Amino acid sequence: MQKNYENKKTPKLIVICTHNSRRSHLGQLWLAAAADYYKLPAMETFSGGTEATAFNPNAVAAMQRIGFKIFALIEAENSVYAVQWKEDQPSYHAFSKRFENAQNPTEEFAAIMVCTEADQGCPFVPGTDFRIALPFEDPKAFDGTLQEAAKYDERCEQIGTEMLYVLSKVSID
């Protein structure tokens, strides 16, 4: 990111997990919110998976509990959501897709692998300038349990903290 800013290029980051249902969406949205918070210009964030399923309702609910405004634009098996973290901002559209989806970058981007399965199953991401593994435990293990909301909130806050920290180190001077 720093090198892109120094070279007057737009940093592009894609957060990848296996199903593009939980951690990759959390990472992408937190990166976008952190870039906005730190007033980093022209950063583009994306998410994708090695498979496409749906933006999981438990992950959506965790983001809503932390203050993100999320609502379904299209209700379907793979719903499309509008996401905002402040008033009067264009909404992000979030839905599950493979990392090679046409809406994601194909060159000059950084890939952030947020689950071990995607990291191992996708050792090469075509077009990437930089690839890093930053695995987080999957809150899916707690679906349907009494700990479900707490574990999703924990993962949401953990990913948010990491993304805020990373972007706090980027300088645009």
**Domain boundaries defined on the chain:** 2-168
Give the pLDDT of residue 22.
Answer: 97
pLDDT band for position 80 (50/70/90)? very high
With the CA atoms of 102, 17, 56 and 167 taken in that order, what torsion angle do they form, in degrees rounded to the nearest 10? -90
Question: Does residue 32 contact residue 91 with C-beta atoms inside 8 Å?
Answer: no
Looking at every residue in the chain, the average pLDDT score rounds to 94
Give the pLDDT of residue 117.
Answer: 83
What class has domain 2-168?
alpha beta
Question: Does residue 14 contact residue 109 with C-beta atoms inside 8 Å?
Answer: yes
CA distance 83 to 134: 24
- Kindly report the backbone phi and psi dihedral angles of residue 148, in degrees, each rounded to the nearest multiple of 5, phi listed first: -50, -60
Give the pLDDT of residue 92.
Answer: 92
Per-residue pLDDT of 88-130, as tens digits, reads: 999 999 999 999 999 999 999 999 999 888 778 777 889 999 9
With the CA atoms of 169, 30, 153 and 111 taken in that order, what torsion angle do they form, in degrees rounded to the nearest 10? -90
Number of alpha helices (DSSP H) and beta strands (DSSP E) in the chain: 5, 7
* Residue 157: burial class (beta carbons within 10 Å; 0-12, 13-18, 19+): middle
pLDDT band for position 2 (50/70/90)? confident
Give the pLDDT of residue 99.
Answer: 94
Question: Is residue 146 predicted with pLDDT exceeding 90?
Answer: yes
Q: What does pTM read for this prediction?
A: 0.95
pLDDT band for position 13 (50/70/90)? very high
